[in-house]
Amino acid sequence: MISTTKDKIVKIASKLAIGIFWILIWQISYMIVGRELYLPSPFNVMKRVYELIFEISFWRAVYYTIYRVFAGIIISVILGLILGIISGLNKQIYDFVQPMMVAIKSTPVMSFIIIALIWFSSSTAPIFICFLMCFPIIWTNIVQGIRSVDSKLLEMARIYKVKQKKILKDIYIPSLRPYFISGCISALGLGWKVTVAAEVLSSPRNSIGTNLFQSKAYLDSVSLFAWTVIVILLSFLFENTFTYFMKNRKY
């Protein structure tokens, strides 16, 4: 018990030390550059983050961006699961779907964003982009999870006439779980990036991306860095919350 507590304290202290180290590097870089326009100081950026927290418009922008990220990811997870399972079990369907996935992965994100702006409204385009970028990740991981299932276990289950419900629960789900978790974590990280990028170009009324664009337009580097820090913190928070939840969930 004591050993576990000490390990946790050492782990937290190590992460804090690493964080402080990179903040010092940032501060030194700021002192070398010497121009707030190019690289603001970490103190001024954190001060601006603190000021933003007390603005209603800040919470409105964060809320709508979180909504767009989660809407895109949830749609990609649902469709990725369904199509991934079907593709993993049926080679013909996999061969049919796989070229589309390669095309999506190979196409520059900016191309999709511009196309989405033609097809959808400024508030809906980021959701579509988030879905489009995260969907291949979920699909690929689910297909790999299905293919990693031990064929000998499946054969034995068929020989002994094990119920399909039990095969699903005791064979397929344990095999799929690590692939699903890995895919969702990757999708969460990418989802934040592409959604905010789409918001920068589409500029919906309430969004983090719009605030980033306005900060750039007014050459407000402090606010630009502050909003960037906020995106990083939100992405980090949601990724780690999801990871903790999935690792401690009982099946």
**Contact (CB, 8 A) for 73 and 187:** yes
Give 66's pLDDT tier (boundaries 50, 70, 90).
very high
pLDDT band at 160 (very low <50, low <70, confident <90, very high): low
Label residue 4 by pLDDT band (50, 70, 90): low
User: 9 Cβ partners below 8 Å, 6+ apart?
Assistant: none
| Residue at token pair 């299932």 | 149
How far apart are the C-alpha atoms of 54 and 64, rounded to whole Å?
A: 17
Residue 225's pLDDT is 92
CA–CA dist 190, 179 (Å, integer): 16
Q: Which residues contact 15 (CB under 8 A, 6 or more apart)?
A: none
Q: Higher pLDDT residue, 223 or 171?
A: 223
pLDDT at 199 over 60: yes
Measured in residues, the chain has a length of 251
Collapse the DSSP code of 40 into the 3-class scheme (helix H, G, I; strand E, B; otherwise coil) and give the result. Answer: coil
Residues contacting residue 156 through CB under 8 Å, at least 6 positions apart: none
Residues 6+ apart with CB under 8 A from 234: 62, 65, 66, 192
Cβ atoms of residues 55 and 208 within 8 Å:
no
Of all residues in the chain, the percent with pLDDT exceeding 70 is: 85
User: Count of CB atoms within 10 A of residue 165's CB?
Assistant: 8
Query: What would the mean pLDDT of 48-55 be, rounded to a whole number?
Result: 90
